[in-house]
Structure 1
Amino acid sequence: MSDLAAFAILRPWWLAALPVIALLALRAAWRSAPLGDWVRAVDPALMALMARRGGVLGGRRQANLVAAITAGLIALALTGPAFERPDTTAFRNLDATVIVLDVSRSVADGGAFKDARQIAQAAAEAAGTRSVAVVVYAGDAYLAIPPTTDRDALGATLFAIDADTVPDRGSHPERGLALARRTLEEAGVIAGDVVLITDGDGIGEAATREAAAIRAKGWALSGLFVPATQRLPEGVPRPDRASLDRLVGTGGGVAADIGAPEAVLGRVGASTAQHLVAGGYGVLAFAEVGRWLILLALLPALLLFRRSA
């Protein structure tokens, strides 16, 4: 990993304070005379007389600059600059992926079932060394592969899945999503991804509620759309990409076609550190250096307390 890839800003919204500090510093420097507002408040002749007698000590414009530098360093510290810990991979058990594969009749008869299995394998490979589980569903849902890091066993099981794997007819994605959620809960996963591979059939309010529940746990639901590549028999539901897009929007993930899955695979393949930060556990993955910037800000701050001779 390059140094740039290992660097992160944990609280980027504090960057908005930097231009505000710069504007305030410029305004103070522009409006402040060496004596502040005393030049406008005191009669010019009296001010000149006091200056000749040594009774006037000019102000220091530098104080504005010093205050701006101090405030800028504090704002930078609050953004949370951090570097990824070298032992982040030790937390991979806290980060898992569940692939939910639609094996209903509409997918099986659509002509792209083999492609759907291959993209499930690609999603598993994208997860790297993290645990992957596979849920299959049609009229009901079953855990085909519990969380595992054995990619060979996972690939063999995916290859064996067909349209008869689930005996229950119908299409109930909400049951597959519910089983995926329970699988992540039982594994104690902090940063999880659920990848739904489907043609969009059967997505309704129940599936939307499950997607919201997944997102509420700090995980993300992404979707890979399986189009029909051949004419479907009469009575078989048609693919519905719009429903999948809405579901993924609720789940907080990304959607893509199985022919161009890069967006979803990229999300699944993100580092454990990135997943932990997204789940609010950045302290596990990154060592923050903001505290040192706070100490650095003390140096110019000391100049603000310097007494004039």
Structure 2
Amino acid sequence: MELGPVLLLRPLWLLAIPALVLLTVLALRRARGLGAWERAIDPELLSALRRFGRVVPGKARRILPPVGIAAVTALALSSPATRTSDPQTFRNLDGVVVAIDLSRSIVEGGGLDDAQIAVQSVLQNSGGRPVAMILFSGDAYMASAFTTDAGALSPLLAVLGGDIIPNPGSRADRALALAEKVFSEAGILSGDVVLVTDGDHLTPEAGDIASRLASNDIHVDALLIEPSGRNGDMPPADPAALERLTEIGGGAFGSAADPAPTARAIGRRAAQNLTTGEAAALFYRDYGRYGLVLALPFALLLFRRTT
């Protein structure tokens, strides 16, 4: 529940306040008299006891300290909080690895421009999460380790070409295996592997790795590159196989020609997962425990001397 800049993380505890008010009213009515004694003692005897000073009616103010303690405790348990504004604190909770296919079918088929635009869109929607980059064709190589400065990867995109990786082929499985290793070594708890490829030559090993990544809360997404030109010896794009891979990996599938919807979906899902999962408590500063200090004055009244 949002109350301006303050949020109540457990607002249902506020329902205890009306119940407390009702119980207080009932208790005050009974405290001003003798309660059940008025029905248990003969009226004449009770009147005589009062004349001799043997009966002292209850005092309503004695109920106030316990009521104050209960009210303050209910407010504290509702957990007033503010959002934590330091994203660097959570840099190991969620990350993105972008794997870019630089095989011949991409570079010579006219799909490299779409690949660069698609990756740029993913970087812009990373939301401050650490981003790493992998380049692959017949093998996979790290182009950049995790960095929270996604803009620093833009110059690297500008120099991509077919002469960067010497190994011919298109091995998305090796890119996924390298991404899995990168997440493990960085100690990042969850995230996304975004394949930017045409889906050519997806081996069963790629599906096995995608399934393993998904079980570790790492989604496998894909942006399909459809080359504008193709020589006779180059395989065509395989969108069906690539989409099946994302289904195994629990990720999103889209086109590199229009990457914005998929990139935004990846960004939104990451934010939702963090703020609703086990790590959600780290995104708020809870002041409820400090509110319990306000109950101490009421608690001290319980220790006053009475006669």
Q: TM-score, normalised by structure 2?
A: 0.63
CA shift for structure 1 position 113: 5.0
Q: Deviations over 1:141-174 (max 9, x none)?
A: 221233457767632332333567653534534x
Q: Secondary structure at the match of 1:43?
A: helix
User: 2:44 & 2:72 partners in 1: Cα distance?
Assistant: 35
Paired AA for residue 76 in structure 2: I
| Residue among 212, 215, 233 paired with 1:212 | 215
Task: Name the counterpart of 2:58.
Answer: 58
Is the Cα contact below 8 Å between 1:66 and 1:304 reproduced in 2? Answer: no
Say if 1:42 and 1:176 are closer, same or farther in 2 by CA, change over 3 A: farther
| Matching of residue 160 in structure 1 with residue 159 in structure 2 | yes
> Which runs of no fewer than 5 residues in structure 2 stay unpaired?
none
Q: Deviations over 1:267-306 (max 9, x none)?
A: 67x7xxx9799784977x8765444212123233334555
User: 1:200 & 1:299 partners in 2: Cα distance?
Assistant: 69
Q: Deviations over 1:233-288 (max 9, x none)?
A: 97652345464255236xxxx777624132334567x7xxx9799784977x8765
Task: Name the counterpart of 1:292.
Answer: 290
Choose 1 or 2 for highest CA Rg. 2
User: 1:113 & 1:48 partners in 2: Cα distance?
Assistant: 103
Say if 1:168 and 1:305 are closer, same or farther in 2 by CA, change over 3 A: farther
Is the Cα contact below 8 Å between 1:255 and 1:263 reproduced in 2? Answer: no
Task: Name the counterpart of 2:143.
Answer: 144
State which drifts further: 202-211 or 54-63: 54-63
Task: Name the counterpart of 2:182.
Answer: 183
User: 1:120 & 1:265 partners in 2: Cα distance?
Assistant: 13
Matches within 5 A, 1:21-40: 21-22=16-17, 24-26=19-21, 28-29=23-24, 32=27, 34-35=29-30, 39=35
Q: Secondary structure at the match of 2:57?
A: coil
Q: Secondary structure at the match of 1:99?
A: strand
Task: Name the counterpart of 1:172.
Answer: 172
Q: Deviations over 1:18-60 (max 9, x none)?
A: 33x2364255346546337974576266378637816252363
Q: Secondary structure at the match of 1:155?
A: helix
Q: Secondary structure at the match of 2:249?
A: helix
| Residue among 74, 77, 92 paired with 2:76 | 74
| Residue among 223, 226, 231 paired with 2:224 | 226
User: 1:106 & 1:26 partners in 2: Cα distance?
Assistant: 73
User: 1:264 & 1:35 partners in 2: Cα distance?
Assistant: 61
Say if 1:176 and 1:63 are closer, same or farther in 2 by CA, change over 3 A: same
Paired AA for residue 210 in structure 1: L
Q: Secondary structure at the match of 1:73?
A: helix
What is the aligned length? 281
Is the Cα contact below 8 Å between 2:137 and 2:170 reproduced in 1? Answer: yes
Is the Cα contact below 8 Å between 1:256 and 1:264 reproduced in 2? Answer: no
Say if 1:39 and 1:279 are closer, same or farther in 2 by CA, change over 3 A: closer
Q: Secondary structure at the match of 1:223?
A: strand
Say if 1:241 and 1:199 are closer, same or farther in 2 by CA, change over 3 A: farther
Task: Name the counterpart of 1:117.
Answer: 116
Aligned identity (percent) is 22
User: 2:260 & 2:87 partners in 1: Cα distance?
Assistant: 31
Is the Cα contact below 8 Å between 1:255 and 1:264 reproduced in 2? Answer: no
Is the Cα contact below 8 Å between 2:77 and 2:288 reproduced in 1? Answer: no
Task: Name the counterpart of 2:134.
Answer: 135
CA shift for structure 1 position 66: 1.9
CA shift for structure 1 position 75: 0.7
Q: Secondary structure at the match of 2:131?
A: strand
Is the Cα contact below 8 Å between 1:83 and 1:287 reproduced in 2? Answer: yes
> Which runs of no fewer than 5 residues in structure 1 stay unpaired?
none
Say if 1:145 and 1:83 are closer, same or farther in 2 by CA, change over 3 A: closer
Say if 1:304 and 1:238 are closer, same or farther in 2 by CA, change over 3 A: same
Say if 1:112 and 1:241 are closer, same or farther in 2 by CA, change over 3 A: farther
